[in-house]
Each structure stands twice: as structure tokens, then as C-alpha cells.
Amino acid sequence: MFVTVATAILMLLAGIGIFLVACQMMSSNLESASSEHLKALFSKMGKSKLLGVGIGALSTALIQSSGATTVMVIGFVNVGIMSLAQAATIIYGANIGTTITAQIVALGLSSGSGLSTTTIFAAMAGIGAFVCLFAKHDMWKKVGGIITGFGMLFVGLSMMSGSMEDFARLDAVKDFLATIGNPILLVLIGALFTAIIQSSSVMTSVAITMVVAGLISLNQGIYITLGSNIGSCVVAIIAGMTSGKNAKRTALMHLIFNCLGVLVFMIAAGILYLTTRGSLDFGILFERMFPAAPQVQMAMFHTIFNCATVIIMLPLTTLLVNTVCRIIPDDIVKEQGESAKPHFFFVDEKMLRTPIIAVRQVKLEIEHMAAVAMHNYDIAIYTISSQDYSQVEEFNRNEEQLNYLNNFLVQYVVRLNSRPLNEIDHRYLSTTIRSIGDLERIGDYATNIIEYAEVLRDHKLAFPANLKEEIEQVREGVFSVYQNAMKAYMDINLEALEEANRCEELVDQLTEQMADRNVARLSNNEYNPVMGAEYLELASDSERIADHLINVGKTIRTLLRPESVDHF
């Protein structure tokens, strides 16, 4: 008996291990292969609750991981690009999307008179391995990885099923498990084991194989599955603990949502039992609905439970959001202090778990960095022209933000570039460090202009009206370069880049004219040489800012190969 039990336990562990590796393999390859679709999905996020549920379900089905979807949502909420209400609906959808795995397991455990479905699908692991081995194109390798992962799911499932059959032959094991009939205890067991292995899909799959092997009853399997939904919240809780208040609220929403769903079904089970005087429970009900197919009974309960929970909670989303906001209230003083510190606006550490989304967020972060740098240039021009220093404090905060991004966004990009991504994303990331440096230099030139303003103030000097007009012309020219260069950068638009180059040539002409006029005016003693020097430096710095903006725009040429057009 000892040898049989030890063998069964080792086979179970091996099966779980292969199942987890298969899930990870499928997830990473599906995530990479479907990167454009995921980006498109999340870019369409709006106020529609049903759309949010659909996006959550589809994205989870694509990457085969509700945990990854939830962590990604927590990251979006943490950096402020998704509201709590939007996050709630995506989490609802993720719970529906994760039922796909249970349905796959049920399909694998179904067998007819010939070859079993498990054997047929397990063979795909070998087919996928051959595709990976001989494929030369990156996309085909990812397809091979998906096929291999799918096949390995059934290899792991077969090993788990075999270990359960070994256990089922031991009367002592069956007698022991039969004594665990308390629904609350079964829910706790499901939650505990799911929290340990951090995968509700694996726990649900183990429960299905146990039911099929006759090791536990359908009713026991149902309660274990309910518990796995609570245990699956551990990943989100860990992700939210080290983030901001809204991230913590999102993790709490996930926990409340799953706990309420379990509570509703537990109450419904109790009412069903009492009203029928013990003659009917969920196990009997699903046995009648799907006779002679325990794997289908479990999978369908899992699907119906998650869909019903979403239907119940969807109208209560606003109440759920308000509840978590009351439980985790804002600390106004602290929040203001935190928001004043340099920080990321679009990227987040948690997004590194979903690299394809993180790449898009890096691009948005760089766009925002450009906006901050150009806002400082605008403040600098205003300050030197008007000698009004009321915006200098804001200027200094922006400069700190630019320095922060120059240091930490580069580090983030380096870490992101080491993650599994397609060739186009890697190529894009290789350009970003140069772009970040160009934008930080724009901030430095803006700082120079502020210093020129202070020199004029110390000498009690101010630009006359004609110089202010020329400075304003250059400022408008530089902003035309900025607008077109960033349009080119964000949309991979060659026409916008060409327009940016034309605007940059105009800036060159304007600054050359400023230099020539400055020499003539100094020769005629029209103004103080100190003023002339600062005026000339301002023109030179403006011209260099335009050059750095063009550098950012030109990076799209690295991406403009046939397969990369329209990627971003």
C-alpha cells in the first residue's frame, strides 16, 4: 500500500508540474502571438460594462491566465489609465475566460470506444515540438510552442488522472475522503491548495480528475472548485500589496467579487437542500442535467457558476467600487505628497508580467515625457520674455520628473527588452533609450533658457518687443516640429515625419536670421551685449531642441519594414 500511495503522489506531482509548465508555455506564446489583438482590445476600453466583461473574457482566453489578466489590470489602475469600474468589469470577464481550461480538461477526459481524446491531444505535444525544431520564422515557432503547450496539458492531465485511479483503488483513501463532507471545509481545502499552487485552473483540473476517478463525489468536487475561486485571488492580492491605493482596491474588488459569488452559491445550495429535505443538491442537479459524464458536469458547473456570478455582480459594480473606496479611503495629505514626487504615469512593475502590453505603455510614457519636456520649454520662453517667474516651481518639478524618467525608464526598458517579445517589439525598444536621452536633453536646454532669464533679471534687462516677436516665431516653429515629430512617432507616419523635417528647416532658417540680426544690432549698439549673448544662446538652444525632436521622430525608420507597418 505504501508503494502504491507514494507512486500515486509522485505521479500526481509530476502531472501537476507538467500541467503548470504547459499552461505557462501556452500563455507566453499565445500572449506574444496575439500581441496586436491584445493591444487593440485594451485600447477600446470604454465605459461599457459589457464591453469590459468581453475584453476580460477574451484576453484571458487568449493568454490562458486569469491571474495574468488581473495583474495587468492592477497595473493599469495603479498608473491611472483605467478606472476602478473598468477594472471590475475586466475582472468579471477574466473569471469567465478562465472556464475555458476546465472545458478543455473535460474534453480531454471524454473518450469513446476508440482512441481516447487525451491520447490524441497529448500527441500534439510532439507535433508542436517538431514545428518548433524545424520552423525558421518567429511566428511559426510561437505556433509550435502553443501546440506543444496544448499537448502537454493533456500529458499532465493523463498523469493526474492515472494517479487518481491509483488512489481510487485504495479503500482507505476513499473512505477517508468520504468523511470530508462539510461544504465549508471543502471550500477551505480548495482555497488553500489553490493559494499554494497559485493556479485555479490546476486545482479545478485536479478536482475534475478526482471526480472522474470516483475518488470524490461530484458535490465534493463542486465545493472544492468554489474554494479554488477564492484561492485564485492570492496572485492579485500579492500584486496589489506593494502598489498604490487604487491597486489595493482592485485586488480587494477581486477578492470580494469571488467571495460573494461563492457565498451566493453556498446559500443557494443550503436553500436547495432544505426545501427538498435533502433530496436535491448541486451534485444531483448537474448529474441530471448532464448524465453519465462527470467531467462535463464539473466543467459546466464551473462555467455556470462564473457566468451567474458575473450576471449578479454586474449591476452592483458601482456599489462594489464605492465599498472598496470606503474600506481603503484616500489619505488626502499623503496622496498629494506622493503625486508631487517623480513617478511613472503609464508603466508599472506589474506590467512586466505582460510584456506586450508594457511595450505599448512605454510608448505612451515617452509621449508623455515629450509633453513634459516641451511644457518646460514653453515655460522657459514665457519666463524669459515676460520676466514673470511664477511658473518656475512647476518648471523645477517637471525637470525632476524628466530626470527620473531618464534614469528609471531606461532601466525599465532594459528589463522589458529581456522578456519574450516579438522581433518588432524588440526593435522598437532598442530605439527608446536614445529617444529618452533626446527628450531629457530638451529639458536641459529649457533649463538653460531659465538661467538666461535670471541673467537678464540680475542685469535688470528685458527683451524689447521686436526680439520677443522673433522668439515667439521660433517657439511656434519648434512646437510645429514637436507636433509632427510625435505624430510620426506614435502613428508610424512617414508623412508627418517629412512635415516635421520641413518645420525643422524653417526653425534653422529663423535661428540663422536671429544670429545675423543679433550681430547687426550689436554693431549698431542697439542693446546691451549681455542681452545679445542670451538672445543668441536662446536661438541656438531652440534649434537644438528641434534637432532632438527630429531624432525621436526618425526612430520610426527602424520599424518601417514590411511586417512592422501598422504594428503600433
Q: Mean pLDDT throughout 349-368?
A: 83
Backbone angles phi, psi at 389, to 5 degrees: -100, 20
**pLDDT category, 451, cuts 50, 70, 90?**
very high
Which helix (H) or strand (E) covers residue 237, if one does? helix 233-241
Distance CA 375, CA 352 (A): 29
Residue 162 near residue 197 (C-beta atoms within 8 A):
no
String of DSSP letters for 77-103: HHTTSS-HHHHHHHHHHHHHHTHHHHH
What is the structure's pLDDT at 444? 96
pLDDT score of 558 more than 70: yes
Q: Which of 92-101, 102-111, 352-361, 418-427 has the lowest mean pLDDT?
A: 102-111
What are the Cα distances from residue 80, in Å, to 34, 243, 463?
25, 12, 42
Tens digit of each residue's pLDDT (9 = 90 or more) over 13-57: 888 788 778 766 766 666 565 555 555 555 555 567 788 888 888
What are the Cα distances from residue 324, in Å, to 53, 74, 88, 298, 332?
20, 14, 11, 32, 17
Which residue has cell 488512489? 167
Residue 207 near residue 225 (C-beta atoms within 8 A):
yes
Which helix (H) or strand (E) covers residue 255, if one does? helix 245-275
Tens digit of each residue's pLDDT (9 = 90 or more) over 131-143: 888 887 777 887 8
Amino acid, res. 272:
L
Residue 156: all three cell numbers together: 499532465
String of DSSP letters for 271-335: HHHHHTTTS--HHHHHHHHSTT-HHHHHHHHHHHHHHHHHHHHGGGHHHHHHHHHHHS---HHHH
Tens digit of each residue's pLDDT (9 = 90 or more) over 176-203: 777 888 889 999 998 988 887 767 777 8
Residue 430 CA to chain centroid, in angstroms?
A: 20
Q: What is the DSSP letter of 44?
A: T
What is the structure's pLDDT at 381? 95
Tens digit of each residue's pLDDT (9 = 90 or more) over 235-266: 677 666 656 677 788 888 989 999 999 999 99
**pLDDT category, 372, cuts 50, 70, 90?**
very high
Distance CA 561, CA 492 (A): 11
Tens digit of each residue's pLDDT (9 = 90 or more) over 260-269: 999 999 999 8
What is the structure's pLDDT at 85? 85
Q: What is the DSSP letter of 185?
A: H
Instruction: Please state, for a pLDDT cut of 90, what percent of the chain lies above it.
Output: 38
Residue 7: all three cell numbers together: 507512486
Compute the C-alpha angle 469/474/476, nearest 5°: 95
Which residue has cell 470530508? 180
Q: Which domains does the chain have, with CATH numbers?
A: 2-327 (no CATH), 349-559 (1.20.58.220)
Q: Mean pLDDT throughout 303-326?
A: 91
pLDDT score of 148 more than 70: yes
Instruction: Please state, for a pLDDT cut of 70, what percent of the chain lies above it.
Output: 84
pLDDT score of 169 more than 80: no
What is the structure's pLDDT at 67? 67
Helices (H) and strands (E) in the chain, counts: 26, 0
Tens digit of each residue's pLDDT (9 = 90 or more) over 488-542: 999 899 999 999 999 999 999 999 999 999 899 888 888 889 999 999 999 999 9
What is the structure's pLDDT at 453? 94
> Higher pLDDT residue, 560 or 401?
401
String of DSSP letters for 416-480: HHTS---HHHHHHHHHHHHHHHHHHHHHHHHHHHHHHHHHHHHTT----HHHHHHHHHHHHHHHH
Report the mean per-residue pLDDT for the chain: 83
Cβ contacts of 213 within 8 Å, gap of 6 or more: 161, 164, 165, 167, 168
> Higher pLDDT residue, 57 or 224?
224
Sort 529 into a burial class: Cβ within 10 Å, 0-12 / 13-18 / 19+.
exposed
Q: Mean pLDDT throughout 284-299?
A: 89
Q: Which of 112-126, 510-524, 550-564 has the lowest mean pLDDT?
A: 112-126
pLDDT score of 332 more than 50: no
Q: Which of 98-107, 109-118, 331-340, 385-394 has the lowest mean pLDDT?
A: 331-340
Q: Which of 160-174, 251-265, 378-392, 542-556 has the lowest mean pLDDT?
A: 160-174
pLDDT score of 338 more than 50: no
What is the structure's pLDDT at 165? 67
Q: Mean pLDDT throughout 303-316?
A: 92
Backbone angles phi, psi at 63, to 5 degrees: -100, 0
**pLDDT category, 430, cuts 50, 70, 90?**
very high
pLDDT score of 334 more than 60: no
